[in-house]
């Protein structure tokens, strides 16, 4: 067996090259940038008003008060999308709407509520400073300024900013293509009504399908494979021929007579990267490589499969999309003693109790069996305990959040 860190290092060195492509902005949501993004134009694009009011010259109304207002002639209007075609001359003003272009000659906007209009004239009752309520061209950022770094996840806010400056095609990493194989003669579909006493409802397919999609990958296909070497070889070969970059198998990787994934992968041309890791759950994890395709053999027990996916497949899918981590972590306070007295790294599923104005409290989920799905379904995340590590109450521990 090798350590968790050694397995992660081996995978990191064997991640296939990432795909890069330019996609329309409408198709970019959830992708990661493959290049830095710079502003093709300034923001704002033109000097405009932050308020409804009047565009004026500061020197015409500086010092105006309700008792001694500055009276200006209204010479036109600037609307959003319909600018005033002219110049604000001495002792004149232009009505202006929020977002409308500030006309030439004007340097200040006076809000409607600080004015009084009558007979084509506007009385400026007060104005605080030169340039008030004017949004200057380029004050947010200039043309050519860096907007987003390579590796940024493109979501609603990023898309909005790029659209606002006219970016319509975005360089991103392509979504990794994944093929899922779930082995086990004993498995039947979860919606099967006539299940036999010796059969088990398949939860791994739907669990791993969701886990793959959570990572932003594209799931090409799923397949249920009987515990047969010939069928397993054929299924892996079909997955390779599909062009999938990542093949995820569930079950069939232990030492039993009917565990065929390792041998089938070998016959399909995969070179073994590792098999068996000093961890619990998930010791019989397998990984192999054939050219630019990686295959993972996850244990069949659902908790083991999920934890192996989180710690080994998920980081590979992240790197293929130009980032290092998908997960969020939280610093917590240990509520009761927790220890690892074995010789394998433990992934302990935990619950978090939030406390106002304090660090959250960390508690172990009671049932940790690798066949007990409730240990992940009811958990908020997990912690990593190294062999011999003991956590005392009150100590701090980082939680990887589900």
CA distances, 73 to each of 53, 114, 127, 179, 324 (Å)? 14, 16, 17, 72, 62
What local confidence, expressed as pLDDT, does residue 324 receive? 82
Phi and psi, residue 240, nearest 5°? -65, -45
Is the distance from CB of 386 to CB of 341 less than 8 angstroms? no
Which of 260, 264, 255 shows the shortest CA–CA distance to 283? 255
| 228 pLDDT tier (thresholds 50, 70, 90) | very high
Could you give the 3-state DSSP secondary structure of residue 388? Answer: coil
What percent of the chain has pLDDT above 90?
A: 93
Tell me which DSSP letter residue 315 carries.
Answer: H
- Judged against a pLDDT cut of 90, whether residue 5 lies above it is answered with yes
What local confidence, expressed as pLDDT, does residue 118 receive? 96
Q: What is the pLDDT of residues 153-195, one digit of tens each?
A: 999 999 999 999 999 999 999 999 999 999 999 999 888 778 8
Which of 57, 27, 259, 275 shows the shortest CA–CA distance to 162? 27
pTM of the complete model? 0.87
- Judged against a pLDDT cut of 90, whether residue 200 lies above it is answered with no
Choose the weakest-confidence range: 97-106, 214-223, 321-330: 321-330
Q: What is the pLDDT of residues 283-295, one digit of tens each?
A: 999 999 999 999 9
What local confidence, expressed as pLDDT, does residue 194 receive? 84
- Judged against a pLDDT cut of 90, whether residue 227 lies above it is answered with yes
Is the distance from CB of 65 to CB of 115 less than 8 angstroms? no
Q: What is the pLDDT of residues 115-154, one digit of tens each?
A: 999 999 999 999 999 999 999 999 999 999 999 999 999 9
What local confidence, expressed as pLDDT, does residue 319 receive? 96
DSSP β-ladder status, 177-183 and 218-225: parallel
The mean pLDDT of 379-384, rounded to a whole number, is 97
Phi and psi, residue 68, nearest 5°? -140, 70
The mean pLDDT of 12-28, rounded to a whole number, is 96
Is the distance from CB of 151 to CB of 31 less than 8 angstroms? no
User: Over the chain, what is the mean pLDDT?
Assistant: 96
The strands making up 218-225's β-sheet, listed across from edge to edge, are 218-225, 177-183, 246-250, 293-298, 286-290, 271-275
Could you give the 3-state DSSP secondary structure of residue 108? Answer: strand
Could you give the 3-state DSSP secondary structure of residue 381? Answer: strand
| 224 pLDDT tier (thresholds 50, 70, 90) | very high
Buried b / exposed e along 224-251 (16+ C-beta atoms within 10 A): bbebbeebbbebbebbbeeebbbbbbbb
What local confidence, expressed as pLDDT, does residue 396 receive? 97
The mean pLDDT of 261-276, rounded to a whole number, is 97
134-137-140 Cα angle (round to 5): 90
Q: Which domains does the chain have, with CATH numbers?
A: 4-18+175-319 (3.40.980.10), 20-44+139-173 (3.90.105.10), 48-135 (2.170.190.11), 329-401 (2.40.340.10)
- Judged against a pLDDT cut of 80, whether residue 106 lies above it is answered with yes
Q: What is the pLDDT of residues 337-366, one digit of tens each?
A: 999 999 999 999 999 999 999 999 999 998
What local confidence, expressed as pLDDT, does residue 192 receive? 79
Encoded tokens for 304: 């083991």
């Amino acid at each position: 067996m090798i350590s968790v860190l050694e397995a992660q290092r081996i995978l990191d060195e064997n991640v296939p090259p990432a795909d890069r492509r330019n996609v329309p902005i409408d198709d970019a949501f959830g992708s990661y940038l493959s290049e830095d993004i710079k502003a093709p134009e300034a923001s704002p694009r033109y000097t405009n008003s932050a308020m409804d009011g009047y565009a004026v010259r500061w020197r015409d109304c500086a010092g105006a008060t309700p008792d001694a207002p500055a009276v200006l002639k209204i010479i036109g209007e600037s609307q959003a999308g319909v600018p005033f075609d002219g110049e604000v001359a001495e002792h004149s003003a232009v009505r202006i709407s929020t977002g409308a272009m500030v006309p030439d000659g004007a340097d200040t906007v006076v809000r409607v509520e600080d004015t009084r209009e009558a007979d084509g004239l506007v009385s400026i009752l007060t104005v605080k400073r030169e340039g008030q309520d004017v949004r200057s061209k380029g004050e947010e950022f200039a043309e050519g300024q860096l907007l987003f770094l390579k590796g940024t996840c493109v979501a609603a806010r990023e898309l909005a900013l790029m659209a606002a400056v006219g970016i319509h095609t975005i360089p991103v990493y392509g979504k990794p293509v994944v093929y899922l194989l779930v082995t086990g003669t004993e498995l039947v579909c979860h919606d099967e009504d006539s299940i036999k006493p010796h059969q088990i409802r398949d939860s791994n397919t739907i669990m791993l399908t969701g886990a793959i999609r959570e990572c932003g990958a594209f799931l090409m296909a799923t397949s249920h494979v009987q515990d047969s070497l010939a069928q397993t070889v054929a299924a892996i070969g079909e997955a390779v021929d599909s062009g999938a970059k990542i093949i995820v198998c569930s079950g069939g990787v232990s030492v039993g007579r009917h565990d065929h994934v390792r041998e089938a992968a070998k016959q399909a041309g995969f070179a073994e990267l590792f098999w068996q890791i000093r961890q619990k759950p998930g010791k019989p994890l397998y990984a192999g490589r054939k050219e630019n395709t990686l295959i993972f053999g996850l244990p069949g027990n659902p908790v083991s499969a999920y934890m192996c996916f989180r710690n080994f497949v998920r980081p590979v899918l992240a790197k293929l999309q130009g980032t290092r981590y998908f997960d969020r972590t939280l610093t917590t306070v240990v509520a009761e003693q927790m220890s690892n007295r074995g010789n394998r790294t433990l992934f302990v599923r935990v619950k978090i109790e939030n406390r106002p104005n304090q660090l959250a409290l960390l508690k172990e989920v009671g049932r940790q069996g690798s066949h007990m799905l409730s240990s992940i379904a009811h958990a908020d995340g997990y912690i990593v305990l190294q062999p011999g590590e003991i956590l005392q109450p009150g100590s701090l521990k980082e939680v990887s959040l589900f």
